[in-house]
Amino acid sequence: MIQCNICSEQLSNPVFISPGKSITSLCEILPGKTEVYFCGNCGHVQTLALENIESYYDTDYKILIDSEEEDQLYQVIGDKKIFRFDHQVNMLLEKLKLPSGASILDFGCAKATTLKKLLTVRNDLDAYVFDVSKMYIPFWDKFIPKQNQATYTTPAEWNGKFDFIQSFFVMEHVAKPNEMLDQVHSLLKTGGQIYFIVPNVSTNIADFVVADHVNHFSRCSLLHLFSSVGFTDVSIDDQSHNGAFIVYARKSASSTGVRCNSAEVGFYSAKVKDMANFWNTLSQKIISFENENKYISTAAIYGSGFYGTFISTCLRDFDKVKYFVDNNPFRQGKELLGKPVVSPADPGNDVEIVYVGLNPNFAKRTIEALSEWKSRNYKYCFL
Ligand SMILES: [Zn+2]
């Protein structure tokens, strides 16, 4: 029997089972299906955990590890590209008042790039790093003293030490978020603050089927989690980071028991059914489009991230795809599933069909805004 990761309610039937193979957040294709469950008690959505989850994060999960500078494109405004780590620093500085000399721990930090960028504008901060892998130590050694680093477990002398603990895109991977938050709670000083970001599946529907995201939080499940563990002044912001929640809260002595009302959970339950339906019909939509255009022999996929990978798992004839197109310079020149990743500025006159592997909320706008593509007569498949 499966239990809710947040409130321990027993969960019976999955709301979604993937029709094909599973895809991870790093766009690896894994055998086996992705099963998604909904908790009608606290409004949480969760995915059956990968087997061997500890060793996966210790040795296999290599996010943006190719170089120091590698980053994800967050947003393009006009000609200006904004990258995710910069946006995270700007938001943190806007939302938290960090006193001079405050201690701050980056929990589950990977390369700790956000912290590194934060320190370039706030070098007065006393910074620490922690992760469940040793593979990021060479990155940490460049800017964090050895005694401020920890792997696998945090040292006892760190308990009650920190003014702030930040954590970016970690808790969605954690099979026991209560335990992680308990640990954060004991590491903070009384009155200290946690600040973290997790995906918001309501505004980034890809998150629903990501195989290694065991948690898909809602406003209700976040509130339930934070108030149970002993945090107060819980602020849940779904506006300041596209497709994600920014959550910050203050350590308190006891749990507050704040909950959503059942009407809000019920409303969300209907939304979850829509999301399941979206993914159930999507692969069919891609297959139908492919069938209707079976006499066209060349195609490209716009987007070399999750949506692009999903499209590739649906296509019957992936050989027709010549390349992936991506506007992120860190992706260009690489390969995905054996195909090159090229820039939208490349000529592109050797393909007729473009499958658009972008978040459907802004896919059309993104394609319309590509100045180089205004005169191109591609046949598009939008999700
Ligand atoms: Zn629950």
260 Cα to the center of ligand 1, angstroms = 12
What's this model's pTM, rounded to 2 decimal places? 0.81
Query: What are the residues whose beta carbons fall under 8 Å from the beta carbon of 67, sequence distance 6 or more?
Result: none
**What is the per-residue pLDDT for 54?**
60
* Dist CA 24 CA 46 (whole Å): 14
41 Cα to the center of ligand 1, angstroms = 5
The rounded mean pLDDT for the chain is 90
φ/ψ of residue 219, rounded to 5: -55, -40
- Relative to beta strand 335-336, strand 321-325 is unpaired
42 Cα to the center of ligand 1, angstroms = 4
251 Cα to the center of ligand 1, angstroms = 22
Which of residues 332 and 362 earns the better pLDDT score?
332
Tokens of 311: 């499209």
H or E segment and range at residue 93: helix 84-95
**What is the per-residue pLDDT for 30?**
80
* Dist CA 112 CA 128 (whole Å): 10
* Dist CA 178 CA 7 (whole Å): 9
68: pLDDT strictly greater than 70? no
3 Cα to the center of ligand 1, angstroms = 8
**pLDDT tens profile 154-193:** 999 999 999 999 999 999 999 899 999 999 999 999 999 9
Split at pLDDT 50, 70, 90, the class of 29 is confident
Query: What are the residues whose beta carbons fall under 8 Å from the beta carbon of 48, sequence distance 6 or more?
Result: 2, 34, 35, 37, 214
171 Cα to the center of ligand 1, angstroms = 15
43 Cα to the center of ligand 1, angstroms = 6
Split at pLDDT 50, 70, 90, the class of 62 is low
55 Cα to the center of ligand 1, angstroms = 26
374 Cα to the center of ligand 1, angstroms = 48
254 Cα to the center of ligand 1, angstroms = 20
168 Cα to the center of ligand 1, angstroms = 22
For residues 196 and 170, the answer to whether their CB atoms sit within 8 Å is yes
229 Cα to the center of ligand 1, angstroms = 14
